[in-house]
Amino acid sequence: MRLIDERSTAFRAAVAAAPSLDVPVPSCPEWTLFDLVQHLGMGRRRSAAIVAAGPADAPPEKSAWDDGTGAPREREALLAWWTESVERLTSALREAGPDRGCWTWWGDSQSPETSGAWARRQVPEIAVHTYDVQLTVGDPEPLPVEVALDGFDDCQFTLCSTDVAWPHEPAVVDYYATEGRSWRLRLSRDGAWAARLGVPAASEDPDPDAADASARGTASDLVLFFYGRIPLDSLKLELDGDRRIFDQLIAWDPSV
């Protein structure tokens, strides 16, 4: 909950500092800053309604979280609307507690279908969109280390893992954060399955189970790469192995 509050406050401050709500967002094509705030606020309201509904086989109807009026266009009113959106979310999460079940869209992943998992999912979403706003006003900042490390972990176990068959040759992909954490993603006909790795061996040591591809960078850059804010050929990332696997991962949509 603390990280949600911190990132939500940072998002609000970045929006408040922008010269205009009509400025385009470079990392979100066809969106203005207003569009981005409305998108993120509506998403928090929807998440709040899902958590509040408890165990369910489907998400609540849209009327449970959207009255159809949309976000206000005047800046101060919009910022107040954003604050209310976050308060709805955090209130629902506190009332539910971390272990109560609820509907999720990641039922085939390695993450639990609980309100606690919804809480965790909020942090990288808000953090990355905060980066979007900062980029828009010309002052992008790296994601805080704590946020980025947990956010990339969540990306692997919630967004990447699935029991949907990988449509290409089996592959192993490793990710190394310079802060000392690392992950492995196995891709096969059984799906995509993530695991946390121990401290990586020295590069000159032989590895009997070497990855087919790997990416190394700060946790912030790994998250931004995962969300498409940093391109595959960015100098901020050190890539090894078969880069085609990253292209395949970027293009893959298991829901299709």
Query: Which tens digits make up the pLDDT trace of 26-46?
Result: 999 999 999 999 999 999 999
* Calculated CA dihedral for residues 55, 43, 4, 185, nearest 10 degrees: 80
DSSP state string for 25-70: -TTSTT-BHHHHHHHHHHHHHHHHHHHHH-S-SSPPPGGGT--S--
**DSSP code for 219:** H
Q: Predicted confidence band at 210 (pLDDT cuts at 50, 70, 90)?
A: confident
Q: Are 88 and 50 in contact (CB under 8 A)?
A: no
232: domain range? 160-251
Q: Give the whole-number percent of the chain exceeding pLDDT 70.
A: 95
What's the CATH number where 236 sits? 3.30.1050.10
Rounded to an integer, the average pLDDT of 180-199 is 94
Q: Which amino acid is at 232?
A: L
User: Which residues share a beta bridge with 191?
Assistant: 188
Identify the pLDDT of residue 203.
43
pLDDT tens, residue by residue, 218-256: 999 999 999 999 998 887 999 999 999 999 999 999 887
Identify the pLDDT of residue 207.
55
Q: Is 150 among the domain residues?
A: no
Identify the pLDDT of residue 101.
96
d(CA 232, CA 109): 25
User: Which residues share a beta bridge with 248?
Assistant: none
Q: Which residue has the tokens 């967002």?
A: 25
Last residue of a domain, one of 95, 110, 141: 141
Identify the pLDDT of residue 182.
97
Identify the pLDDT of residue 1.
83
Identify the pLDDT of residue 17.
94
d(CA 78, CA 15): 10
What's the CATH number where 91 sits? 1.20.120.450
Q: Is 122 among the domain residues?
A: yes
Identify the pLDDT of residue 201.
43
Whole-model pTM: value is: 0.92
Alpha carbon of residue 117 to chain centroid: 12
191-197/213-217 β-pairing: unpaired
| Number of neighbouring beta carbons within 10 Å of residue 61 | 10
Rounded to an integer, the average pLDDT of 9-37 is 97
Question: Residue 130 above 80 pLDDT?
Answer: yes
d(CA 149, CA 156): 11
Q: Is 133 among the domain residues?
A: yes
Provide the phi-psi class of 79: left if phi over 0, else alpha when psi is between -120 and 50, else beta.
alpha
Q: Is 134 among the domain residues?
A: yes
SS (H, E, C) 74-136: CHHHHHHHHHHHHHHHHHHHHHHCCCCECCCCCCCCCCCCEHHHHHHHHHHHHHHHHHHHHHH
Identify the pLDDT of residue 202.
42
> Which has the minimum average pLDDT: 19-28, 114-123, 191-200, 216-225?
191-200
10 and 133 share one domain:
yes
40 and 167 share one domain:
no
